[in-house]
Structure 1
Amino acid sequence: MKLKVDSFVLAIIFTVILAYVFPDFGREDSPIPLDEIASIGISLIFFFYGLKLSHEKIKQGLSNWKLHLLVQSTTFLIFPLLVIAAKPFFPSGDSEMIWLAFLFLAALPSTVSSSVVMVSMAKGNIPAAIFNASISGLIGIVLTPLWIGLFIQNTSQEFEFSSIYLKLLTEILLPIIAGLFLQKYLGKFAQKHSKKLTRFDQFIILIIIYKSFAHSFLTNVFSSVSWKELGIITLIVLALFYFIYFLTGYIARKLQFNLEDQITAQFCGTKKSLVHGTVFAKILFTGFPIGIILLPLMIFHAIQIFIISIIATSLGKRE
């Protein structure tokens, strides 16, 4: 079987290398206002998200409540609790920051586009995948900051819920609502140009990644992470992914889901959104080394696309 490397994963790797070689554009006094560009881009991403959010698909999906409960419980409850249980293995100092990065990964919502695409490839329950991926993004606006806030307030960094939610409201929630209201006028346009809008999403994410890593390289944040530790982080990410994947499949079989619903549960329940992650990191972790915070998420993003695409291709060949 010929494997195709995801182009966005390659773009992320290239962006990190670019930030390492040319970090100066990530400075606060850079002539290119990357923070302002990213903030406007974030609002547009979620405005287009609102334009493409299907009311009908959400209505159709409401009846399959056991599947939805499993996916959302996995995404926002089992994932974070698993990482919290591992906290004693990460004592204070640099390792605690890495643990916080894993908690951030665990508290994020599921992806939208890749979840639906992979479920479609595997011949799973596509309407349920659309429903869960869409709802997950909305739930994450509330739950992700709550999970992080439980632990980040104990650090020396400032974490003010009112300012955090104000940013989430203005940069994410209001654009989604505006998109929903304008859907009947611009919805067809958004669907027609869906691929182009996805490219725009990815471009904004790459800007945020560049800015985060350029700043980290300028301040020598990664001097505290050795190649050995990077390998350990990758192994933990792999273990976390496979544990959630097999646990979700086990629960789905116990609940007597058919194969289509089981595929959707496993694919949506194991995904974490890089789009939401880069956006939330920019808002939630002001003053933190965001490069370190995003590191496990970017490794997880590459792994989830690679492994699930292989599984989806195999399942899609069945009669």
Structure 2
Amino acid sequence: ARGNVAGAVVAASFSNLAGVIITPLLVAGLMGAQVGFSASAIGKIALQLLLPFVLGQLVRRWLADWVIRHRRLTTFTDRGSVVLVVYSAFSRGVVDGIWTKVSVGNVVTLLILSAIVLALMLGASNIVGKKMGFSRADQAVILMCGSKKSLATGVPMATVLFSAATVGMMVLPIMIFHQLQLIVCAVIARRLGARAEPQPVTV
């Protein structure tokens, strides 16, 4: 979308880091005894999500140049890990038999509700960015990051907070939302990028 890439990275990183604590607290407040919430649960989530981030930052000074030189490999690894997370979540659902418990009508309902939530978040993010006078590049960041819900962080949290028998069912809504968000935002990003003024080339 030719937005503020640095701003997007910071926003997404902060969202993921804050989510390690906020998400378990929010789920526990909404669902109470139905989730396995405890200090150890937050610790397990932090171990899976926060620790790799911290380690990555610590070794950045030694690996940054190598990562830049091997961008194709790191891009493949990044996208491949997301594919594996999606596959893992889908496979867990199959093993748990959610497709025998969830009708086609239920899936269609989830898809419609996810589309409504996504449309509301995209609309609200777009309005906030414009009303607060952000630049076009920053508005693109707010639009993209404002609707972000990731399986890459959602699935590890779900496996800690919910029992093995129910985690497949719990992950189904975010599976649907995440795929829908990727498709819709890819289209929006392409259109925003096409409309953006070309960036000046510096020599």
TM-score range, shorter chain: 0.7 to 0.9
Contact 2:45–2:156 under 8 Å retained in 1: no
Report whether the alignment pairs 1:175 with 2:52.
yes
SS for the counterpart of 1:123 is coil
Cα distance in structure 2, aligned partners of 1:219 and 1:315:
40
Tell me the residue number matched to 2:149.
272
**Conserved? CA contact 1:123–1:315, under 8 Å:** yes
Contact in 2 for aligned 1:125/1:263 (Cα 8 Å) = yes
Structure 2 residue ranges without an equivalent (≥5): 198-203
Alpha-carbon distance, 1:198 to partner = 4.4
Tell me the CA shift for residue 137 of structure 1: 1.7
Aligned partner of 2:13 in structure 1 is: 134
**Are 1:143 and 2:143 matched, yes or no?**
no
2:124 to 220, 227, 247: 247
Contact kept? 1:124, 1:260, Cα under 8 Å: yes
The one-letter amino acid paired with 1:253 is K
Seen in structure 2, the aligned counterparts of structure 1 residues 239 and 164 have a Cα distance that, compared at 3 Å, is same
| Structure 1 counterpart of 2:106, one-letter code | E
The answer to whether the Cα contact below 8 Å between 2:48 and 2:156 also exists between their aligned partners in 1 is no
**What SS class does the counterpart of residue 178 from structure 2 fall into?**
helix
Q: Match of 1:302?
A: 179
> What's the C-alpha RMSD, in Å, of the aligned pairs?
2.3
User: How far apart are the structure 2 equivalents of 1:290 and 1:273?
Assistant: 16
Q: Percent identity?
A: 28
Q: Which residue of 2 aligns with 1:189?
A: 66
Kindly state the Cα deviation for residue 227 of structure 1 after the two structures are TM-superposed: 0.5
CA–CA distance in 2 between the matches of 1:223 and 1:189? 47
Q: Distance in 2 between matches of 1:305 and 1:205?
A: 12
| Equivalent residues in 2 for 1:200-215, closer than 5 Å | 200-215=77-92
Alignment of 1:1-319 (within 5 A): 122-155=1-34, 157=35, 159-318=36-195, 319=197
1:162: Cα distance to partner?
A: 1.9
Query: Whole-Å Cα distance in 2 between the matches of residues 204 and 124 of structure 1?
Result: 24
Aligned length: 196
Please list every run of 5 or more consecutive structure 1 residues that lacks an aligned counterpart in the other structure.
1-121
Structure 1 170/303 Cα, relative in aligned 2: closer, same or farther at 3 Å? closer
Calculate the TM-score normalised by the size of structure 2: 0.82
